[in-house]
Amino acid sequence: MAYDKFNILTSTAVPLPLENVDTDQIIPARFLKATKREGFGDNLFRDWRYNSDNSLKEDFVLNNPIYSGKILVGGKNFGSGSSREHAAWAVYDYGFRCVVSSFFADIFKNNCLNIGVLPVQISPEFSEQIFEAIYDDPKTEIEVNLPAQTITILSTGAQESFEINSYKKENMLNGFDDIDYLQNIKGEIESFADGLLL
């Protein structure tokens, strides 16, 4: 499924400084029954956002009008657990285009890259700086520059660079997905398969 190209994103950010935020929190399993990719943003962090009677949990950050933006800043080991791409869809469909953390779980990170959410891994120290800046001033803007591979706290000028492999970077910049690439080398894949025992 095609997604919007990613270039330079400048936005306020939503802080979620908990560690080990797992995919069952990002989207609980009971919301995985759809056969289409629709409505997942409504159930992002469902059980942290809503009480069992569907009223809002006032103390959860997504329900706090002070914080908003297209960048979600999480704690260490963000996205651990299940391979459900629904977690990345929920993040994207809610309106986030970038998740920042000092450490990502593998499959979640991979899923994000495949659907157009940029995972930006930064040092624990820089993560602390971002949280401080947002708590000091929720209007603080963060600039995520994919071409330059930098993330900057605009109010302080503090900056760090981040890693992304050149292939995935090119895909994100152009809104391409892997399937386009694979389709183009199908002949090579078929020759490879012909040589297999099983």
Applying CB under 8 A, which residues contact another protein? Answer: 1, 17-20, 22, 24-25, 28-30, 32-37, 47, 52, 75-77, 80-86, 88, 103-107, 110-111, 114-115, 165-168, 177-179, 181-183, 185-186, 188-190, 192-193, 196-198
The CA R_g of the chain, rounded to the nearest whole Å, is 18
Shortest separation between residue 114's beta carbon and another protein, angstroms:
4
Residues in Cβ contact with 50 at an 8 Å cutoff, skipping those fewer than 6 apart: 56, 57
Shortest separation between residue 10's beta carbon and another protein, angstroms:
27
If the CB atoms of residues 71 and 105 are measured against another protein, the closer one turns out to be 105
Shortest separation between residue 23's beta carbon and another protein, angstroms:
8
Which residue reads 């400084």 in tokens? 17
If the CB atoms of residues 77 and 140 are measured against another protein, the closer one turns out to be 77
Residue of 169, 160, 28, 30 lying closest to 100 (CA atoms): 160
Cα(29)–Cα(78) distance, integer angstroms: 17
Residue 107: strand, helix, or coil: helix
